[in-house]
A and B are shown apart, each in its own frame.
Chain A
Amino acid sequence: MKPFEERFTAWVDGQLTGPDLAAFEKELASHPEAAAERAEARKLGDLLRERPAPPLANADFFNHQLLQRIAAETPRTAEPAKVRGWFWSLPRLALAGAACLLVAGGLFKTLIPAAVSPGEKSKYYAQVVETWPGDETIFATTVYNPADNVTVVWLDGLPYIPATYALK
């Protein structure tokens, strides 16, 4: 049998019918205040519904602000560079060229990785640069396990999920 609270709620909301209703009303014979309780619960509902929320003020501004926020938070693909007029004089271009040569050589040497040969074992491990927990109740700790070459982010503060909760 369902708990009293569930049946009482269903009774207040007019959700009990037939034999369930008859049985519950029989049980309520020993609770003389029940009818008054139900009347009060319905008055409470009326009280809450009679005072609706204020209207959304400046509704168009709401959209405007929202779209600005979406634009700021949505990643954009790189825009194609605009073609400019010829800004560089020849001497400036020449100097830029010389500097480019030095920088390109240096960058190529230090930053562009060589192709990984098939048999070479990766010496790289996953690196977590920064974490931001979803809310204040969650804590994240990052640990690198060198023996297994794996990085783990431990999340604490997550509520337990019962096995009855469908994951798939």
Chain B
Amino acid sequence: MSAPSNPLPKQAEPAAEGPDDLHLVARSQAGDTAAFSELVTRYRSRAFSMIYQMTRNEQDAWDLAQDGFVKAWKSIGRFRGQSSFYTWLYRILMNVTIDSLRRKHIASGTEFDDQIGLRQIEPGAPTAPRPEMQPAERISDKEVRQRIDEAIAKLSPEHRAAIVMREIDGLEYSEIAEHMDCSIGTVMSRLFYARKKLQALLKDVYETI
């Protein structure tokens, strides 16, 4: 078998990276909220999009994006330019989101069991029994979104983060590991189980669209 290529679409780097961002950061560090607002304008859409993919809820994504930017403002004095501003911001946003998801599932009393449905799965085995399908039945886009939302909601915050960062944001394993403060092996393991679980939950979806 030849090595397959699996290029992942990477989000376009922000056009205003480099000196402009650093200049705005320096002004923000001096207390200039107008400069910080300009940074927010540049990255708010990406921030919202990433958090939405984690929470699958627009209101939650709005609130958590706000929380993340406030946190970034409060800690902007710690930004030393060792990474790009967005990389630094991304980590804050991800941690805020993961913390929120953890608190919610503790409050709800439910548990994320990432092993549900995987107990009988061995490596290489089919992910789920093929359901009975009506040949002519197709799922609407709205239903697909809903099914995706429900499936992702069943993942633990850490597995969710790994899948979103890899499949949607196109980050490398090393970048994911840095954001999640874990080893690359842990990232790969989380991806393995998250994919398995999502495949089991969504198999009938992507076979009928």
Give me the interface of A with B, judged by CB distance under 8 Å: 2-6, 8-10, 12-17, 21, 25, 28, 30-38, 40-49, 51-57, 59, 62-63, 65-67, 69-71, 73-74, 135-137
Q: How many A-B residue pairs have CB under 8 A?
A: 147
With A42-B6, A62-B62 given, can you name 15 additional A-B contacts, CB distance below 8 Å?
A6-B185, A14-B6, A21-B3, A28-B124, A37-B199, A44-B198, A46-B206, A51-B145, A53-B53, A59-B44, A62-B65, A66-B69, A70-B36, A135-B103, A137-B103
Tell me which residues across on chain A come within 8 A of B195, comparing CB atoms.
9, 12, 41, 44
Question: Of residues 105 to 132 in B, which have CB atoms within 8 Å of A's CB atoms?
Answer: 106-107, 123-127
Tell me which residues across on chain A come within 8 A of B103, comparing CB atoms.
135-137
Give the total of B residues in contact with A, Cβ under 8 Å: 62
Docked CA distance A30–B58 (Å) = 45
Please tell me which stretch of B16-24, B82-90, B186-194 contacts chain A, meaning at least 4 of its Cβ atoms lie within 8 angstroms of it: B186-194
Q: Is the interface of A mostly helix, strand, loop or mixed?
A: helix
Flag if B37 contacts A9 (CB, 8 Å).
no
- The one of A21, A59, A65, A73 in contact with B45, judged by C-beta atoms closer than 8 angstroms, is A59
Q: Which residue of A lies closest to B141 (CB)?
A: A51
Flag if A4 contacts B167 (CB, 8 Å).
no
Tell me which residues across on chain B come within 8 A of A34, comparing CB atoms.
124
Tell me which residues across on chain A come within 8 A of B45, comparing CB atoms.
55-56, 59
Give me the interface of B with A, judged by CB distance under 8 Å: 1, 3-9, 33, 36-37, 40-41, 44-45, 48-50, 52-53, 58, 61-62, 65-66, 69-70, 73-74, 99, 102-103, 106-107, 123-127, 141, 144-145, 148, 163, 166-168, 173, 185, 188-189, 191-193, 195, 198-199, 202-203, 205-206, 209
Docked CA distance A65–B62 (Å) = 11
Flag if A25 contacts B1 (CB, 8 Å).
yes
- The one of A14, A54, A59, A66 in contact with B3, judged by C-beta atoms closer than 8 angstroms, is A14
Flag if B48 contacts A48 (CB, 8 Å).
no
Chain A proximity of B14: nearest CB distance (Å): 15
Tell me which residues across on chain A come within 8 A of B127, comparing CB atoms.
37, 40
Tell me which residues across on chain B come within 8 A of A30, comparing CB atoms.
124
Q: Which residue of A lies closest to B185 (CB)?
A: A6
Q: Which residue of A lies closest to B54 (CB)?
A: A53
Docked CA distance A9–B196 (Å) = 11
Q: Is the interface of B mostly helix, strand, loop or mixed?
A: helix
Flag if A43 contacts B206 (CB, 8 Å).
yes
Flag if A33 contacts B126 (CB, 8 Å).
yes
- The one of B53, B124, B167 in contact with A45, judged by C-beta atoms closer than 8 angstroms, is B167
Flag if B40 contacts A63 (CB, 8 Å).
yes
- The one of B48, B61, B167, B191 in contact with A49, judged by C-beta atoms closer than 8 angstroms, is B167
Docked CA distance A126–B139 (Å) = 64
